[in-house]
Amino acid sequence: EVRLVESGGGLVKPGGSLRLSCAASGFIFNYYSMNWVRQAPGKGLEWVASVSSSGESIYYADSVKGRFTISRDNAKNSLFLQMNSLGDEDTGIYYCVKWTGAVTGTGRLDDWGQGTQVSVSS
């Protein structure tokens, strides 16, 4: 059974930083691209970032480019999101999500963690 467990969320002041982690189990982690997807309170889903299975290819949403860094440690079956210069607009639940298939094409977000809450407020 695929299991994705996020941690590292919390309350942070505007301009602050947080590092999210995701512990993966139940599948061969280094075979799959991984993503972060977030959801602001009462809003829809927003894709944040993606990292390829090897870690060589990385993509970001424009809204986080230059502020967030996605990375992975295949030896530890872990995914990370370093978030800097946080603003109110970054508040929400952050999901760690496994991607199956090609980066573009018939790929999909097929396994989701339960999410970790990030709140940015003074």
Contact set with other proteins (CB under 8 A) = 35, 44-47, 50, 59-62, 95, 101, 103-115
Nearer to other proteins, 71 or 100 (CB): 100
Nearer to other proteins, 75 or 102 (CB): 102
> CA quadruple 97, 66, 76, 94: dihedral positive or negative?
negative
Q: How many CB atoms are located within 10 Å of the residue 38 CB?
A: 23
Parallel/antiparallel/unpaired status of strands 18-25 and 33-39: unpaired
State the minimum distance, in angstroms, from the CB of residue 43 to other proteins: 8
Q: Return d(Cα 9, Cα 79) in angstroms, integer.
A: 14
Nearer to other proteins, 27 or 59 (CB): 59
Nearer to other proteins, 17 or 114 (CB): 114
Answer yes or no: are the C-beta atoms of 18 and 76 closer than 8 Å.
no
State the minimum distance, in angstroms, from the CB of residue 96 to other proteins: 10
State the minimum distance, in angstroms, from the CB of residue 100 to other proteins: 8
Q: Return d(Cα 96, Cα 98) in angstroms, integer.
A: 7
State the minimum distance, in angstroms, from the CB of residue 37 to other proteins: 8
